[in-house]
Structure 1
Amino acid sequence: MDLGTRASSTAVLLSRVGERIRSREALLVEEWEDITAWASDHVIAGPEGVATITEGYLDTGVPIAGPGAPLVSEFALMELIAVLGRTPDGGKAYVGRVIECAWRLPHVYDAVVAGRLAPWRAERIADLTRPLSADAAAFVDRQLWDASGVGWAQLERLVTEAVLRFDPEKAEAERREAADNRHFDIGEVDEHGLVHLDALLDAADGHDLNQAVARRAEVLGRLGDESSLDVRRSKAAAELARQDLALDLLVPDPDTGEVVATVPGRKVVLNVHVTDTTLTSDTPADQAGWNPVGRWEEGRCPVTSAQIREWLRARHTTVIVRPVIDLADHVPVGSYEIPGRHRTRVILRDHTCRFPHCTRPAQRCDVDHARPHAEGGPTCPCNLVPLCRRHHRAKTHSTWRYDAVMPGTYLWTSPNGHRFRVDHRGTHPVRTNRAAEPPDE
């Protein structure tokens, strides 16, 4: 292929890419217009209508944009988000940004509809204006009559000016509260069993911590650790943590005054899944049927068995072993109350809330009887499902429904007949003509 032919081919390819981008953005603009129309049809107007009885169940108006934007039906919003294929929190934020533009930033919204402003840029603007008062948001919107020409730094300065103009007390309060944003966070565990730290400290505290880590890293080097300085600093920070865990602390209960002695050291709960292929030998021949991968519930990630052994070997570690015989086993009890062993099995089986696209950890969820206990549903892991509080309410008080196809697999039906299969592989829309039919009376 000569240079001229190659250049021509590249030009055609780039032309196709550009055309697809324009088509994709046109479809997204149509989606924005549909969401705006949907919001107009599902407004719960006025403070007195925030909580209303609709068709026999409790519905709640939720604010998902800034002051002055409408409250929309909570249960209807759940259905829209499920159809959009977004997570509950991410979908709520996305719909809120569209409503923010449509009701509080009309110049920005018009620019999106006219094709002058990419929707993702408008979403960024909406994120910045959502906390503003109605007057401040209107001021920002008036300055954005040609929003496509505004850079991020200029936009942030514009928002700051709006706050200072229309809400000076808020600006002063934010200045005084800046120190309360200090934090020390540990991020998600990566595939190698490592984590990133993110912290904002008082300058003096940061200096002291840096000095302590530097001293320990130097001592480790003098004691023969040949790791790089960065690695030694990482180990030094861990040594500081283990020194604290090794302390016997007497802590008074703030309510009763009772003095509680903490148990020193790291605490590890090891859930051992016992199956007919479980092997404990370390010989290569036996390891053919052995799964070398574990799951760290706290970090919500897989880890190697070698790393688990390293964690268990750390000094001052307390190990609690819980054998899990069969997560699908049927062990019903006669009461409505759910025993701790049942809740543990359900958490280990499902891991997260089982509503479509929800990722809230099962440890933080309610445990719902799929078939109500009052209707003969057993209190048994086969009839128990983890649902976060928000989606437990939707199942109980709205017309959202699900069937437990098998333990760990659920078929949800939305108020307007859209269906979703939720299992360990995620959420999958079920393609039927049901959505075209009117909902059951």
Structure 2
Amino acid sequence: MDLGTQPRTTAALLSGLRAEVEGRQASLVREWTAIVEWASDHVVTSPEGAATITEGYLDTGVPIAGAGAPLVSEFALMELVAVLGRSPDGGRAYVGRVVECAWRLPNVYAAVIAGRLAPWRAERIADLTHGLCAEAAGFVDRQLWNASGVGWAQLERLVTEAMLRFDPERVEAERKAAADHRHFDISEVDEHGMVHLDGLLDAADGHDLDQAVARRAEVLGRLGDDSTLDVRRSKAAAELARQDLALDLLIPDPDTGEVVATVPGRTVILNVHVTDTSLLEGNPLTNPVGRWDEGRCPITTAQIREWLRSKGTTIIVRPVIDLADHVPVTAYEIPERHKARVMLRDHTCRFPHCSRPATRCDLDHARPYGQGGPTCPCNLVPLCRRHHRAKTHSLWRYETPMPATYLWTSPSGFRFRVDHRGTHPLHATGDTGPPDQ
């Protein structure tokens, strides 16, 4: 570094980096706009009439995006890909993603053009929607009118929900076909006297098994087993097997000698959400999509019915929870009913761009309890341990201008809005609202 010059501040350096990112994104937006104009000029109307003679050669319209997007001239596409400097396959896929957004995901495309959504994020969305029917793609697009803060897992769940809503027969058929491949195998003994397990289970069965192993591994630790958690889990699985093998000695049927085994069943908690979404969309049918909290994913109602019919299942139906209720308590400790409200309201850590599930987060008093902040859902915010520490021990700060909306300020003064639509940088000092639609 030249000792005769002033060292750059961190804020100035970060501002320069942000400018570079914005400049690169602006260049890509111009490229996308030009590709869409090119595609509009080279649309071929139908597969049947797509073959035309151009200078003695057969030119064909090719589908490079999902159902409902236009076919484009094959020969013209070759030229465009060459100009873009991309490989034939990679270039075709890239142009297809742009066309997918422009024709089938107009809200996503508009967000890219407006600079609210990075083009590379839009490309990922286009990859996931390519195989959807037009109605399902439209549903995804409506949910992603501002997708800058949507994580990949959340996006994949949204695509799954779209398939469940608009192509349920196909989804159910694929689920049943996949269920036929369930297995649980144990390998031959290796040279160390160990075996490997390999299995494919129903998701709820797998969750039950994981919970049973985790509980027993914890008990082993409390009883003095100082093995690592992985080793204790292995031992716990073996103990479950030995317990089952002992059942025929403990509980025989006195008449037939047949083993009678009673095992604790699964507990299912149903959160019933009252919504008028179906009516708003003109659909009188019951919503075919359920959500599994433990798996953090949408599932079919048919699969839910199968799980509820499992022998020994205990079903707990929670009353409808008003997430806007203010129900403060005088203690610092947070009651379970408050935790449930916060988890159902916020779903994930509320730090910018963090997607850790709220169920694995601390609950932070937005206004500290020692300064008069109430222990109430309106004053509780889920933050993962890392970001809870950052808020407590560094200069990261947030405000809550309205329920479930958080305005963060970084140590160098950069500001972000975090809400149910994700994370959005705020460039103007007084800007507290969502990005322009």
Smaller-chain TM-score bracket: 0.3 to 0.5
TM-score under structure 2 length normalisation: 0.43
TM-score under structure 1 length normalisation: 0.43
